[in-house]
């Protein structure tokens, strides 16, 4: 950020400081990744388990309910979810993790359902003819074939939550949203740009990594 100080000084020529210095950007990045990673890990597990359960014969009746419950998290704005979570969990990291879990569940669940339902029925019948058990069909046939679609949902969820996690700074969860909130409070646009720039770069980097992984999964069956 020091290399860009002339630019930030041009943005805020009258500001006493144009480089956010209340916390190290490396520390803020680590906290941001921790929050997004924790929420993402739980959300992926919940989305996969729910998606698998409602696509089995014993869970088909709960398919509409699962979709509706997952949609609830995205019908509420993240700020509203935070407002509901803070009284129960208090200020800090737990509240933003819960908000990110609710907000990121729908893409994972939706893509899990689409991926599993999109497996060619002929392949399922071939697996049955080979004597595979339901568990073997799931792990050896359905999940590998559905993996690219499921991963696309995880990619969407994580990328969205990288940006959404910045709201955690409003409830005491220190992360890359801190410079943005500090800039708004102090009317310092240089701080806002620094936080937004780092979040955008992080989101683009993670999205690119997921893109590479998706390409590998999509080409794996034909290698």
134: Cα separation from own chain's centroid: 30
* Distance from C-alpha of 21 to C-alpha of 41, rounded to nearest angstrom: 31
Q: Which residue range(s) make up the domain with 64?
A: 2-222
Tokens 């794996």 belong to 220
Tokens 């088909």 belong to 60
Q: How confident is the model at residue 43 (pLDDT cuts 50, 70, 90)?
A: very high
Total number of domains constituting the chain: 1
Least confident of 40-44, 128-132, 154-158: 128-132
Regarding predicted confidence, which is higher, 184 or 214? 184
Q: How confident is the model at residue 73 (pLDDT cuts 50, 70, 90)?
A: low
Task: Name the average pLDDT for the chain.
Answer: 86
Predicted confidence at residue 209, as pLDDT, reads 92
pLDDT > 90? residue 133: no
> What are the helix (H) ranges across 118-188?
121-129, 134-137, 143-164, 178-186
Please give the structure tokens belonging to residue 127.
């697996």
pLDDT digits (tens, 9 = 90+) for 147-157: 989 999 999 99
Query: Domain holding 156: CATH number?
Result: 1.10.3720.10
């Amino acid at each position: 950020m020091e290399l860009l100080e002339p630019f930030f000084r041009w943005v805020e020529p009258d500001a006493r400081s144009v480089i956010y210095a209340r916390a190290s950007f490396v520390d803020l990045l680590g906290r941001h990744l921790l929050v997004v990673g924790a929420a993402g890990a739980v959300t992926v597990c919940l989305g996969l388990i729910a998606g698998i359960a409602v696509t089995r014969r014993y869970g088909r009746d709960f398919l509409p309910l699962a979709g509706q419950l997952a949609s609830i998290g995205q019908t509420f704005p993240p700020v509203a979810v935070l407002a509901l979570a803070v009284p129960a969990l208090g200020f800090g990291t737990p509240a933003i993790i819960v908000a990110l879990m609710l907000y990121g569940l729908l893409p994972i669940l939706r893509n899990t359902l689409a991926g599993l339902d999109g497996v060619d029925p002929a392949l399922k019948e071939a697996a049955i003819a080979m004597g595979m058990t339901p568990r073997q069909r799931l792990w050896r046939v359905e999940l590998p074939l559905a993996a690219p679609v499921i991963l696309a949902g995880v990619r969407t969820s994580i990328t969205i939550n990288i940006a959404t996690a910045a709201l955690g700074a409003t409830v005491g969860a220190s992360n890359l949203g801190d410079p943005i909130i500090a800039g708004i409070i102090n009317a310092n646009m240089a701080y806002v740009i620094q936080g937004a720039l780092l979040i955008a770069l992080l989101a683009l980097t993670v999205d690119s990594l997921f893109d590479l992984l998706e390409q590998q999964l999509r080409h794996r069956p034909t290698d």
